[in-house]
Amino acid sequence: MGFISQVINGLGLGSIYALVALGYSMVYGIVQLINFAHGDIIMVGAYAMFLLLTVAGAPLWAAVLGSILFCVVAGVFIERVAYRRLINMKAPRISLLITAIGVSIFLQNLSQLLFTSSGKTIPSMFDLGTLEAGSLQVPSGSIINILTSVAMMVGLSFLVNKTKIGKAMRATSEDAAAARLMGINTNHSIAFTFGLGSGLAAVGAVLYCNTYPMITPYMGGLLGLKAFVAAVLGGIGSIPGAMLGGYVLGVAESLTKGYISSSFTDAVVFGILILVLLIRPAGLLGRNVSEKV
């Protein structure tokens, strides 16, 4: 039954990718920016958890809520300080991208200065041991990850499709100028998207800390990059696509680890990205949008 437990572990890992990919996908959908700093929000969330749990000695629920809240504030703050001016003056995309990279390097180096580059260990969080069903053994962390990510996606779909602010977000991503004419404050809906994405990344950070209790200032880089690959794989701009991409990527990575070699996982991930771009650039669930001239 090694195969099935590998798949379940992969889905557990993929849940983290999926939660982070949602943030990439939403932000890209609304301002066409690959938010490089999004991966580092995971790191911010993880360090917030670490500080709350060890230094402040907060209870687990408060630490989780606190780190999510902190990330939401950080996400909105970053959007306000670094991106809004460029978004509103319709700067070329490359300027926005470079700014996002600047923010990413800033966050990484700031946390390296504050917490040194050596890793920190997070105390164990939701440890329910290993679940057994017949001959099948699964770590409880994977199950928690999967359930949380599904719950988050259901909540997010409700928020985006059924609420007023969700409607404003969709309108802004469809056509920002027209949305503004209809009385939507696009600045607010963009800021809300950044906050929401960062909050989801913080949930991803909590799950990450629960699964891999070692955090470093640079943990967000590769994790964020893989989550972006997941978003592209699923079809960037699509919420179910980001989830699907995350799961597929997690399973692919877990199977590579299990059956080929753990040193090739990153190569497999980027191999998938290149294949997707070659065969179906819009992603698994994305729509092909023709460019307006």
Partner 1 sequence: MNRKKVAVYGVILALIVAIYALVTGLSNAGVLNSYYSGILIMVCINIILATSLNLSTGFLGQLILGHAGFMSVGAYAAALFTLRAGLPDSIDFPIALLVGGLTAALFGLLIGIPALRLKGDYLAIITLGFGEIIRVIIINLDFTGGARGLRGIPRETNFSWVYLLAVLTVAIIFAFIHTRHGRAVISIREDEIAAEASGVNTTYYKLLAFIMSAFFAGIAGGLYAHHIGILNPSKFDFNYSVEILVMVVLGGMGSITGSVIAATVLTILPEALRDFSSYRMLAYSVVLICVMLFRPSGLLGQYEFSLTRLFGKLSGSKGNKTTKNPASGGEKGA
Residues at the site binding partner 1, with contacts judged by CB under 8 A: 34, 82, 85-86, 91-99, 101-106, 108-110, 113, 221-222, 225, 228-229, 232, 263, 266-267, 269-270, 273-274, 277-278, 281, 291, 293
- Phi, psi (degrees; rounded to nearest 5) at 56: -85, -20
Of 208 and 228, CB closest to partner 1: 228
CB of 164 to partner 1, least distance (A): 31
- Work out the burial of residue 118: count CB atoms within 10 Å of its CB; fewer than 13 is exposed, 13-18 middle, 19 or more buried: exposed
Min CB(88)–partner 1 separation in Å: 12
Q: Closest approach of Cβ 135 to partner 1, in Å?
A: 35
Q: At what angle do helices 219-234 and 38-50 cross, to 10 degrees?
A: 130
Question: Taking the complex as a whole, how short is the minimal distance between the CB of residue 91 and partner 1, in angstroms?
Answer: 5
Pick the closer one to partner 1 by CB: 214 or 277.
277
Per DSSP, the residues of 213-281 read -EE-TTHHHHHHHHHHHHHHHH-TT-HHHHHHHHHHHHHHHHHHHHHT-GGGHHHHHHHHHHHHHHH-T
112 versus 137: smaller Cβ distance to partner 1: 112
CB 12 within 8 A of CB 143: yes
Tokens coding 104:
């990413």
> How many H-runs (helices) and E-runs (strands) does the chain carry?
12, 4
Q: Shortest distance, CB of residue 223 to partner 1, whole angstroms?
A: 12
Beta carbon nearer to partner 1, 197 or 283: 283
Of 5 and 266, which has the nearer Cβ to partner 1?
A: 266
Minimum CB–partner distance for residue 33 and partner 1 (Å): 9
Q: Which two tokens stand for residue 83?
A: 């991106």
**Cα distance between residue 195 and residue 265, in whole Å:** 31
82 Cβ neighbours under 8 A, 6+ residues apart: 99, 100, 102, 103
| AA identity, residue 145 | N
- In single-letter form, the type of residue at position 96 comes to L
Q: How far is the CB of 228 from partner 1 (least distance, A)?
A: 6
Q: What are phi and psi of 139, to 5 degrees?
A: -65, 140
Give the nearer residue to partner 1 in terms of CB position, either 24 or 192: 24
Of the pair 82, 143, the CB lying nearest partner 1 is at: 82
CB of 23 to partner 1, least distance (A): 15
Find the angle CA(84)-CA(90)-CA(96) to the nearest 5 degrees.
Answer: 60
Q: List beta partners, residue 121.
A: 214
Pick 181 or 293: Cβ nearer partner 1: 293
Tokens of 101: 């990279």
Question: How many beta carbons lie within 10 A of that of residue 263, not counting itself?
Answer: 9
